């Protein structure tokens, strides 16, 4: 059974996207990723996104601010995960508290493919980029 992991594509009012770097001493140390983490077995994914953003980067959002974008499964030799990416729009770029990440940066959508993502995250990018392009055309 794969571990359920929720990830948040946090977008500021200028369209920049928050990416975070994993701290040393954890699985995939120093890798860049969307903020997020494991959902508890009895926890709704949307609630997990809200909790993970609060715990990891100190960002408080309402559950209604989350919109699922894409899911994928990935297996390493030691574990399997089911990743679900959620889009979260924030009215302005909030201060980010480094509670569970080494550092962060805000990147424009056209630079997302230049971020050195873990292999597990790569299948999520096409759906996210398509969604972002669709939102811009609206």
CATH of the domain at 129: 3.90.79.10
User: What is the rounded (10 degree) CA torsion for 65, 18, 54, 25?
Assistant: 150
Prediction pTM value:
0.89
Radius of gyration of the chain (CA): 14
Our count of domains for the chain comes to 1
pLDDT on residue 136: 61
Which residues have C-beta within 8 Å of that of residue 135, sequence separation ≥ 6?
Answer: none
pLDDT of the residue at 64: 86
- Rounded to an integer, what distance in angstroms lies between the CA atom of residue 89 and that of residue 75? 30
Task: Please give the helix or strand (H or E) that residue 28 lies within, else none.
Answer: none
Structural domain of 40: 3-137
Residues of the chain where predicted confidence (pLDDT) is lower than 50: 138
**In this predicted structure, what is the pLDDT of residue 72?**
95
């Amino acid at each position: 059974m794969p571990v359920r992991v929720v990830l948040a594509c946090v977008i500021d009012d200028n369209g920049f996207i928050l990416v975070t770097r994993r701290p040393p001493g954890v699985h995939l140390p120093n890798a860049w990723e969307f903020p997020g983490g494991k959902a508890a077995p009895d926890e709704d994914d949307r609630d997990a996104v809200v909790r993970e953003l609060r715990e990891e980067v100190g960002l408080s959002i309402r559950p209604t601010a989350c919109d699922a974008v894409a899911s994928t499964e990935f297996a390493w030799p030691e574990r399997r995960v089911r990743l679900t990416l959620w889009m979260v729009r924030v009215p302005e770029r909030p201060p980010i508290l480094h509670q569970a990440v080494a550092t962060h940066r805000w990147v424009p959508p056209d630079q997302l493919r230049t971020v050195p993502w873990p292999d597990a995250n790569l299948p999520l990018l096409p759906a996210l980029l398509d969604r972002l392009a669709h939102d811009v055309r609206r």
